[in-house]
Chains A and B, each alone.
Chain A
Amino acid sequence: MKFDDKVPIYYQIKEYLYHQIVTGTLQPGEKLPSVRQLAIDVTANVNTVQRALTEMLSEEIIESQRGKGNFVTTDVEGIKQLHNKLVKEQLTLVYQQLHALNLSDDEILSEMKSYMESRDGQHE
């Protein structure tokens, strides 16, 4: 995994796992790899991975079963909320940056629309 050196690694690991959960690469109820395996998979330190997992536990996106490991929550509603949260985060980012380019709300909408249309055109 490629990290952005400016952003705390534990945060990036969390985002990476959330992304996998939201997109279904990790299914609800699926077991997560061991902490050490995760550390090797993403090339980070065990402590850092542990910190990411601890935050995920307290946000109740994963559940820990003693002696068995960590599992993705079966609470589909929770995953949905996470999904919404991630979408909102990305939207906020795009919105803020376009706003910084002096685009009004209406302009942002129309720009988005024409952008998506031009992309659709490319796909055909």
Chain B
Amino acid sequence: MSELLKIEKLNYSHSLKSILRDVDLTVDSGKIVGLLGENGAGKTTLMRLITGSAHGKGVITVAGASKIAERKSHVSFTEHLGGFSGGTKVGRIFDFYQAVYPDFNVARSNSLVDFLQIDKSLKLSAMSKGMKEKLIIALTLSRQADLYLLDEPFGGIDSMSRKKIINSILKWKPEDSTMIISDHYVTEIASILDEIIVVKDKTINCHKQADEIREDNDMGIEEFYESLYEGGDQDD
């Protein structure tokens, strides 16, 4: 197990507003990490800073690479396919991914498509929310990356799809790779997490082992997470 992601003194502001301050974070390889925080806390922003889609001040290193272009080759992010028009056939998107990502793995991709029951002949605009989430997961996991960033992969989808997505994560995550999953509702993924990271008050509020929380605090992850906010209220 080695250091896979390292963030040092990261600061980010947008539209004259400070979004993240003094973020320092180290995550080892081979982990599944929950990135928790309220809506608008900066979870997505943190992911965008890691992928290089947003520019902050500070150093971000993924698998030894800190230059944005190189970093991109190690990171697979659940992008929401905003670059494709509604009329685009799903199969074409897979073809595009295969053509532009050298780490795209056809065998993985085909089994993911089977497992998640994705219909490649559909048009993007004809997909329901749940289908689209599954498509995004399949595309993201089709790449054999070192760091997977899943941004709220369970947003507004039914429990069957959720189970399928969780199972495909467990099934297809390469052993040495690390996966960061952001969510504002913890319980549904609590059992698969090694660690949790909480973004609160514009920075990393805590970074802990999941089973350590259960052992030391005698609390569930959800309970622990909520307790952080109760504490915050008293401070105000």
**Residues of chain A from 38 to 88 with CB closer than 8 A to chain B in the complex:** 39-40, 43-48, 51
Q: Whole-angstrom distance between the alpha carbons of A39 and B211 in the complex? A: 16
Question: How many residues of A are in contact with the other chain, CB < 8 A?
Answer: 19
Set of chain A residues within 8 Å of B173, measured between Cβ atoms: 46
User: Is B125 at the interface (CB under 8 A from chain A)?
Assistant: no
Flag if A45 contacts B187 (CB, 8 Å): no
Q: Does A120 touch B at the CB level, under 8 Å?
A: no
Contact residues, B107-152 vs A (CB, 8 A)? none
Q: Is A36 an interface residue (CB 8 A)?
A: yes
Q: Does A124 contact B (CB under 8 A)?
A: no
Q: Select one of A4, A6, A10, A45 contacting B170, CB under 8 A.
A: A45
Q: B17 to nearest A CB, angstroms?
A: 35
Contact of B218 with A43 in the complex, beta carbons under 8 Å: no
Taken together as a complex, chains A and B put the C-alpha atoms of A48 and B175 apart, in Å, by: 13
Task: Tell me which of B194, B218, B221 has the highest count of chain A C-beta atoms within 10 A of its own C-beta.
Answer: B194
Q: Does A100 contact B (CB under 8 A)?
A: no
**In the assembly, what is the distance between CA of A6 and CA of B221, in Å?**
7
Interface presence of B37 (CB below 8 A): no
Q: Would you call the interface of chain B mostly helix, strand, loop, or mixed?
A: helix
Is B167 located at the chain interface by the 8 A CB criterion? yes
B residues 185-200 with Cβ under 8 Å of A?
187, 190-194
A46 lies within 8 A of B191 (CB): no
A39 neighbours in B (Cβ, 8 Å) = 170
B165-190 at interface with A (beta carbon < 8 Å): 166-167, 170-171, 173, 175, 187, 190
B171 touches A36 (CB 8 A): yes
Say yes or no: A5 contacts B220, CB within 8 Å. Answer: yes
Closest B-chain residue to A43, C-beta based? B191
B residues in contact (CB < 8 Å) with A: 30-32, 163, 166-167, 170-171, 173, 175, 187, 190-194, 210-211, 214-215, 218-223
Further pairs besides A6-B219, A39-B170: 18, Cβ < 8 Å: A3-B190, A3-B191, A5-B191, A8-B211, A9-B210, A9-B211, A9-B214, A11-B211, A36-B170, A40-B167, A43-B167, A43-B170, A45-B191, A45-B192, A46-B170, A47-B31, A47-B194, A48-B211
